[in-house]
Structure 1
């Protein structure tokens, strides 16, 4: 089930979109967007707050608080219903297309009577938008790509939403009488950025009680199939969950079988056949005698095949079997490996929590060090100044070591301009402990210009980390068009780490780019880009992505001791 905060966040964001579609005041739109983000990132459950408690949340005023209370009390908001009634459902469907804003969606409806994604795709193919102001070739190409992103995503579920659903179901079923083991498997256990459905396994002598329990959960909206070996349901969030109950003695074989990708499982079954064995979800058997040789644990199954245990995130048939046979399987980075977060924000710019709260939350995670990297002045909406950042530096220095002896680094997230330049002159940048540099605008430069832009930023002696390098937003925005091999080589050459941004809608770099960049000898930083206390927990999504890219602690600079990290931050020094 989604947190009430997330439900309210979605409602307020929808209201902001509806106001924008109907030509409402831009200030009001922005106010509701800010309130939506603030509530979504607020650590306390908003359903437990009264009006005063809600108004204590940044950017939540009296009117917004009243709407939140109305929703929590009745499940609806009259102002939202009224706005919805004014706008055709088709227009609301159009604004779900990445790159198509609310005003353009309304123009399409009013001028061309387009009221569905299919109609818009057909209109673009028929060149029916050619004479419509504001819909030139570039805009149409962006819309076409946005539609393709939607179609590609299809019914797939973002990693973080799937993981939240799976963990809730596993917790419920684990409490059932007779449950020996319970876990999620499939692509979710492999930490793919999106998943088609959720596989849950239970080890128990009797399957019936667990099949019945799944269908009876409050989160279950529809029972697709209900059987003795498998039950499938659809949750209230539209997620399909497949449950299988295995005999306890078959737990390891079943977990291995239902976790690996199809290609990985073909490879392991082929290894079994070559040894006169048969591998299934029930165990590893001798073909001639039918004797079960391994089944109770994954380690046992892999060992009998002549392999070490392979981390789930590597089970994609991308060379992990060969590496395991050679004894060269990477010892992948884990959350426990990470000593600190090197990209975070406070309410000085677009974060939701003050410096002290973010520092305390980071210290509670057991970090040895932690960097504050608020936005620099070229991202004009954040209104940063030299005076503000220097005042923050004094506060950071005063707090340094005061929270569980955690050391604090004062940094900034620079904006990479179209020419590759960044905010602030070199002498000012020299005062920071580290600098993250990211692209926040001008996403549509040509490939050659974009490559030169990124390479120049990497070669800046004060840029330590290339933040969310491709700028992609999963299912919403494609990555930058650049020669990434040239960029990765420049990072390796200049001593600039590539970020694995753990925000679940980014996961940028993705696993395939990580694999390419590692071949060039680049180093990496797995950061949360946290804008609230809650976002610090997103680290696990970044770690899952880093593991899929085969990264080890040696590859990831924020697993290193502080002394080694500081050497790296001096650009090019060996760890």
Structure 2
């Protein structure tokens, strides 16, 4: 189930967008956008806050607090509904297209009278957008690409939202009388970056109580199908959830089957057939006698097929069965292996929490070390200066050792310019413990240009990590066009790590890119890019992606002891 904070964040962001779309004050819209981010990243649940508590959220003033209170008490925001009424629903859909946003949507609507996505497609293909001031042929191309992105998404849900909902449902169903076991399966258990629907598996001698319970949960908006072995609902968030109930003795075989993937299961069944066996969701059987051999646990099902238990994140038919049979399956990195976060922000730039709050939250997670990496000055809206950064460095040095065993690293997130340069000269960069370098602009540059800028950044001796390397935002912005193999080669040659950004909106690098990069011998950092204390928990999504890329803790630099990490940062990577 989505956090209440996330629901309110989405509403305030929509309000900000609609202010711009209806020609309202840009400063006011920006204020609501900042408030939305602050609410989404706030550590406490809005439901527990009174009016005074709401005003203590950074960026939340009286007007915003009043709107939040209105939503908490009535379930709606009147001012938002008034703006929605002024804008055709189709125009709001246009606004959500990647690369469009409220300003372009307003321009397109006002000057061309376009009110639907279909009309926008026709206008782009017939070059009618080319005559609009501020647009052009490249803009039309980008808009068509953005529409295709949305269509390919097919209403899929980001991993974090699906996982939070699934965990809530599993907890509620686990308390139903007669439920022996309950868990989620499918692509969610495999930690895919987006989820189509949620598969929940339960074990019980009698399914009746469970099948009734899921139809009566407060999250259930519609019952799609109701039976004795399977019930499907649509939740109030619009997701389909399929609940299947099996006898406790068949739990393992059913969990293997319903976790998938389809291709992995086909390989398993082929292996079973070769051994004169039959594998289904009910168990592993001898073909001739029909005798059931195993079905109670996943481990015994895999063992009976001559395999070790395979982590769900690896079950994508990428060679995991052959590796398991040969005893070469990697021990993939886990959240417990991570010793520190190497990409985080504070309210010195665009973070929501002050330095000491971020450090306290990191210490509570049991980290050995923690890097503060606020934005550098070329990201102009963050208003960073040399003086501010040096003052923060002094503060970090003073706080080192004040949070238990947590060792502090002072770093920065540099901006990779169009030519591959970064914000500060070498003499200033030399003062940092760690530098992450990321692309924050010129996303539509050509392939050769993007490749050159990333390779040049890798060759900078003061750049240790390339942050969110492809710059993608899931469902909102596609990856840059770049020769990633050339980047991987540069990283391997220069000892520069690639980030697996754990923000569920990014998960960048993705699993397939990780698999390709590790063939070059690249090292990785699984970091959260946290902008609030709440975001530090996003590490789980980055770890899921890292596992899908077969990463071991030896390949992840922030799973290393501090002494080994410091050698890497000084330019002597352990290989």
TM over 0.5: yes
| Distance in structure 2 (CA, Å) of the matches to 1:90 and 1:437 | 38
| Distance in structure 2 (CA, Å) of the matches to 1:485 and 1:189 | 30
Q: Is the 1:525–1:558 Cα contact (8 Å) retained in structure 2?
A: yes
Question: Alpha-carbon deviation of 1:572?
Answer: 4.0
Secondary structure, counterpart of 2:228 in structure 1: coil
Relative to structure 1, the CA distance from residue 412 to residue 538 in structure 2 (aligned partners, 3 Å threshold; closer, same or farther) is same
Q: Does 1:422 align with 2:422?
A: yes
Structure 2 counterparts to residues 471-482 of structure 1, below 5 A: 471-482=471-482
| Distance in structure 2 (CA, Å) of the matches to 1:142 and 1:127 | 13
Per the alignment, residue 492 of structure 1 pairs with: 492
Q: Is the 2:263–2:317 Cα contact (8 Å) retained in structure 1?
A: yes
| Distance in structure 2 (CA, Å) of the matches to 1:404 and 1:293 | 52
Per the alignment, residue 5 of structure 1 pairs with: 5
286-295 vs 525-534, which moves further: 286-295
Question: Alpha-carbon deviation of 1:435?
Answer: 0.3
Q: Is the 2:191–2:313 Cα contact (8 Å) retained in structure 1?
A: yes
Post-superposition Cα deviations, 1:105-161, rounded to whole Å, max 9, x if no partner, equal 122222222111122112222333232223311101110111011000012111111
Secondary structure, counterpart of 1:130 in structure 2: helix
Q: Does 1:123 align with 2:123?
A: yes
Post-superposition Cα deviations, 1:239-289, rounded to whole Å, max 9, x if no partner, equal 000010011011110101111211100000000001110101111011111
Per the alignment, residue 299 of structure 1 pairs with: 299
Per the alignment, residue 382 of structure 2 pairs with: 382
TM-score, scaled relative to structure 1: 0.99
Post-superposition Cα deviations, 1:489-539, rounded to whole Å, max 9, x if no partner, equal 100110100000000000000000001100111000000000000000000
The runs of 4+ residues in structure 1 deviating greater than 6 Å are: none
Question: Alpha-carbon deviation of 1:5?
Answer: 1.1
Post-superposition Cα deviations, 1:78-127, rounded to whole Å, max 9, x if no partner, equal 22122222222221121011111212212222222211112211222233
Post-superposition Cα deviations, 1:175-217, rounded to whole Å, max 9, x if no partner, equal 1111111110000000000111110000110011101001000
Per the alignment, residue 446 of structure 1 pairs with: 446
Structure 2 counterparts to residues 275-290 of structure 1, below 5 A: 275-290=275-290
Q: Is the 2:459–2:494 Cα contact (8 Å) retained in structure 1?
A: yes
Post-superposition Cα deviations, 1:19-56, rounded to whole Å, max 9, x if no partner, equal 10112111111100000000111111112222221111
Per the alignment, residue 407 of structure 2 pairs with: 407
Q: Is the 2:185–2:259 Cα contact (8 Å) retained in structure 1?
A: yes
| Distance in structure 1 (CA, Å) of the matches to 2:71 and 2:556 | 44
Q: Is the 1:496–1:571 Cα contact (8 Å) retained in structure 2?
A: no
Structure 2 counterparts to residues 187-226 of structure 1, below 5 A: 187-226=187-226
| Distance in structure 1 (CA, Å) of the matches to 2:84 and 2:91 | 10
Question: Alpha-carbon deviation of 1:422?
Answer: 0.5
Q: Is the 2:254–2:283 Cα contact (8 Å) retained in structure 1?
A: yes
Gaps of 5+ in 2: none
| Distance in structure 2 (CA, Å) of the matches to 1:245 and 1:47 | 34
Per the alignment, residue 145 of structure 1 pairs with: 145
Secondary structure, counterpart of 1:302 in structure 2: helix
| Distance in structure 2 (CA, Å) of the matches to 1:220 and 1:286 | 41
Q: Does 1:543 align with 2:543?
A: yes
Q: Is the 2:127–2:140 Cα contact (8 Å) retained in structure 1?
A: no
Q: Is the 2:420–2:456 Cα contact (8 Å) retained in structure 1?
A: yes
| Distance in structure 1 (CA, Å) of the matches to 2:486 and 2:8 | 44
Per the alignment, residue 309 of structure 2 pairs with: 309
| Distance in structure 1 (CA, Å) of the matches to 2:8 and 2:197 | 25
| Distance in structure 2 (CA, Å) of the matches to 1:547 and 1:507 | 12
CA RMSD in angstroms, aligned pairs only: 1.0
Structure 2 counterparts to residues 222-241 of structure 1, below 5 A: 222-241=222-241
Q: Is the 1:225–1:231 Cα contact (8 Å) retained in structure 2?
A: yes
Secondary structure, counterpart of 1:47 in structure 2: helix
Post-superposition Cα deviations, 1:425-461, rounded to whole Å, max 9, x if no partner, equal 1111111110000000111111111111000001100
TM-score, scaled relative to structure 2: 0.99
| Distance in structure 2 (CA, Å) of the matches to 1:71 and 1:260 | 40
Q: Is the 2:234–2:240 Cα contact (8 Å) retained in structure 1?
A: yes
| Distance in structure 1 (CA, Å) of the matches to 2:45 and 2:200 | 28
| Distance in structure 1 (CA, Å) of the matches to 2:277 and 2:49 | 60
Question: Alpha-carbon deviation of 1:390?
Answer: 1.1
Per the alignment, residue 19 of structure 2 pairs with: 19
| Distance in structure 1 (CA, Å) of the matches to 2:260 and 2:11 | 37
| Distance in structure 2 (CA, Å) of the matches to 1:173 and 1:185 | 14
Per the alignment, residue 563 of structure 2 pairs with: 563
Per the alignment, residue 340 of structure 1 pairs with: 340
Gaps of 5+ in 1: none
Per the alignment, residue 107 of structure 2 pairs with: 107
Q: Is the 1:494–1:572 Cα contact (8 Å) retained in structure 2?
A: no
Structure 2 counterparts to residues 47-58 of structure 1, below 5 A: 47-58=47-58
Per the alignment, residue 179 of structure 1 pairs with: 179
- The number of residues matched between the two structures is 575
